[in-house]
Amino acid sequence: MARKPVASKAKTQSNVPEFTGEQDLEAYREMLLIRRFEEKAGQMYGMGLIGGFCHLYIGQEAVVTGVTMASEKGKDAQITGYRDHGHMLVMGLDPKGVMAELTGRQGGLSKGKGGSMHMFSNEHKFYGGNGIVGAQVSLGAGLAFAAKYRGDGSVSIAYFGDGAANQGQVYESFNMAKLWKLPVVFIIENNKYAMGTSIERAAATTDFSQRGLSFDIPGEQVDGMDVRMVYDAARRAIEHARSGKGPFILEMLTYRYRGHSMSDPAKYRTKDEVTKYRQERDPIEQVKARLIEGGFQTEDELKKIENDIRAIVTEAADFATNDPEPDASELWTDITISA
């Protein structure tokens, strides 16, 4: 039985959108900052400086980088789940504040009271940082509701994973978003594993871009390892939402190199699979190669960027290590606001 495909498949390399040297350079900086920051966070976790759960974004950098490059910074709202460090760095939140929140210090973005999964910024319109799988999808639809209610022309970008895509409230939110034409772009970061369960073992249909089909929400599968593809798709999806046409779904095909969280040995996948992604599809190496081959940057210039980023990360780590823990009196603050 023939069925008309509503969603287009991931584009091939033959029709990949072009990036200027400036765009590649911006993407390179942002992605490298995430990579180095996360490696440092992993190291600090190993040293016992970061407690509890710590979910690293290594491997998925192109997704949030490309989407954020296509959004209006300071105007469009973003919200995600627990794998949130990269989102904050790209949105311009202070790396020192992020790292100090990971170490639970007073200078952390949430004064040390939130932790890895709970950081926010009203100023940057970043709404977390949510630890409950799928909750951010309804919340993100609510951010879009507020945008429409006020008519402020902003778009809400709600990220969630292939695991969250099986949660019921996701479809409740799809329904209302389409029904009310809310300006929201749903970004499904499909890294193939919901903790240790592969999509094939968890999802009856694994083409997540089609999950809005029954609500008539358009969707696209995107090569989430290529920042140009991400940017191009996000630009169109955001424009669609901003123009009043309602929600859009982008499924980003991506990959996380590390385990689900620091304590996950990732034995549910082969070493070859990880190695293949790292060697052949790495989002940062792709951009780096283009910058050099295109003659935009020399190895030395890239080395300088690398050193600059290392300095930022080192400064963040030093701050997060030496900043004091929150004062004991903070135990009782911020529970409710006195009217």
Partner 1 sequence: MPQILMPALSPTMEEGKLSKWLVKVGDTVKSGDVLAEIETDKATMEVESVDEGVVKELLVEEGTEGVKVNTPIALVLAEGETAEAAPAAKTVPEPAEAPVVPAEKAAEAAPSAAAVPAAPKFEAQSDPDLPEGVEMVEMTVRQALNEAMAEELRRDKDVFVMGEEVAEYQGAYKITQNLLQEFGPERIIDTPITEHGFAGLAVGAAFAGLKPIVEFMTWNFAMQAIDQIINSAAKQLYMSGGQVKAPMVFRGPNGPAARVGAQHSQDYSAWYSHVPGLTVIAPYSAADAKGLLKAAIRSPNPVVFLENEILYGSTGLVPKVDDFLLPIGKARIARKGADVTVVSFSMGMRYATQATEKLVAAGVDVELIDLRTLRPLDSDTVVESVKKTGRLVTVEEGWPQGGIGSELSARVMEQAFDYLDAPVMRVTGKDVPMPYAANLEKLALPNVDEVIAAVNAVTYRS
Answer for which of 120, 208, 231, 319 binds partner 1 (CB under 8 A) is 120
Spatial separation of the C-alpha atoms in residues 172 and 166, rounded to whole Å? 12
| Interface with partner 1, residue 318, by CB under 8 A | no
Spatial separation of the C-alpha atoms in residues 167 and 202, rounded to whole Å? 11
Cβ proximity to partner 1: between 217 and 229 the closer is 217
50 three-state secondary structure: coil
Degrees to nearest 5, angle at CA 228 with 226 and 230:
75
Residue 290 CB, nearest approach to partner 1 (Å): 20
| Interface with partner 1, residue 329, by CB under 8 A | yes
| Interface with partner 1, residue 279, by CB under 8 A | no
| Interface with partner 1, residue 46, by CB under 8 A | yes
| Interface with partner 1, residue 8, by CB under 8 A | no
Q: What are phi and psi of 32, to 5 degrees?
A: -70, -35
Other Cβ atoms closer than 10 A to 205: 9
Answer for which of 299, 301, 308, 325 binds partner 1 (CB under 8 A) is 325
Answer for which of 146, 245, 294, 304 binds partner 1 (CB under 8 A) is 146
SS (H, E, C) 119-158: CCECCCCECCCCCCCCHHHHHHHHHHHHHHHHCCCCCEEE
DSSP annotation of 161: E
DSSP annotation of 324: P
| Interface with partner 1, residue 305, by CB under 8 A | no
Amino acid, single-letter form, for residue 329: S
| Binding positions for partner 1, 168-187, rule CB under 8 A | 168-169, 172-173, 175-176, 179
| Interface with partner 1, residue 31, by CB under 8 A | no
Taking Cα atoms as reference points, which of 153, 212, 148 lies closest to residue 7? 212
| Binding positions for partner 1, 217-246, rule CB under 8 A | none
| Interface with partner 1, residue 119, by CB under 8 A | yes
Answer for which of 66, 95, 142, 163 binds partner 1 (CB under 8 A) is 142
| Interface with partner 1, residue 270, by CB under 8 A | no
Spatial separation of the C-alpha atoms in residues 217 and 258, rounded to whole Å? 32
| Interface with partner 1, residue 337, by CB under 8 A | yes
The label of the residue with tokens 């977390």 reads 128
Answer for which of 75, 149, 308, 311 binds partner 1 (CB under 8 A) is 149
Which stretch in 7-15, 64-72, 167-175, 236-244 sits in contact with partner 1 by CB under 8 A? 167-175
| Interface with partner 1, residue 48, by CB under 8 A | yes
